[in-house]
Structure formats: C-alpha cells, structure tokens
Amino acid sequence: MSDEPEPHPEPHPDPAPPAPSPDNTRWTGAKAMAFLKALAQHGKVARAARSVGMSRQAAYRLRARAPNFADFWDGALVEAARRKELARQARAPVHPMLARVRLPQPPRPSAPPPRAGERR
C-alpha cells in the first residue's frame, strides 16, 4: 500500500449532446429543389433521387402526394427533353449508313427472265 492519496479525477463538464444526424428518410425543401434541378439536367428519376440520398420510389411517393411538386417535376422533364434536343442538334450529323432512321431504298432491278434451257 502506498501512503500517497489517490488523485481525484477532475470533474468533466457534461459533454455536449451529439448533433442530430441528418434524416435521410425524409424529403426537405432543399432536397426537393436539388432533385428537381438534377432531374432537369438529365431527365433520369432514379439518378436524380440518388443524388439527394433518396430512392426512386420515395420520389414517386412524394410526387403522388404533393401536386405542386408534381407540376415542377413535369416542368423539369420538359426542360430535360429540351436540353437533350439541343445537344442532339449540336452534334455533328451522322452518316446516313449509321443513322437510326431507315432511309428509303431505291427499287432493285428485277431479275432478267431466264434464258431458254436455263434453270433458276
């Protein structure tokens, strides 16, 4: 045993309560605006939802219950389509052989009639 008294620990002030963690399960106004901005950029619902930490299904549920959000969603999709069309027009034209649209084909010449004694 030692003759020295045990040192008393210094009293610690109560620690500050932990900061609340962000609730990634709920939509906020900021999340909705960021979602709509992303949706207007590329028109992909799942990608826009992931960009704000939400699921595609959560986005559709919010759309179903919030008519103003649904209106802005529709506007964002129109903007995305406009951007896509502008980007398409800005690209160099595609060679006709590589185009996705089938070009009209000239009529093929008909086969000459068989000669006497020839088989087809």
Check residue 90 and give its pLDDT.
84
SS3 18: coil
Give the Cα separation of 53 and 16 in Å (integer).
Answer: 28
Average pLDDT per consecutive 10 residues, the chain (120 residues; last block may be shorter): 64 60 78 97 96 96 97 97 90 78 77 70
Domain ranges of the chain: 29-91
Report residue 53 as tokens.
Answer: 């930490």
Give the Cα separation of 49 and 56 in Å (integer).
Answer: 6
Check residue 29 and give its pLDDT.
95
Check residue 72 and give its pLDDT.
97
Check residue 96 and give its pLDDT.
75
Count CB-CB contacts under 10 A for residue 52: 20
Check residue 101 and give its pLDDT.
77
What residues have CB less than 8 Å from 41, skipping those under 6 apart?
A: 48, 80, 83
What are all long-range contacts of 104-107, with beta carbons under 8 Å and residues at least 24 apart?
none
42 and 79 in contact (C-beta within 8 Å)?
A: no
Report residue 37 as tokens.
Answer: 């901005």
Q: How many residues does the chain have?
A: 120
pTM of the model: 0.60
Check residue 51 and give its pLDDT.
96
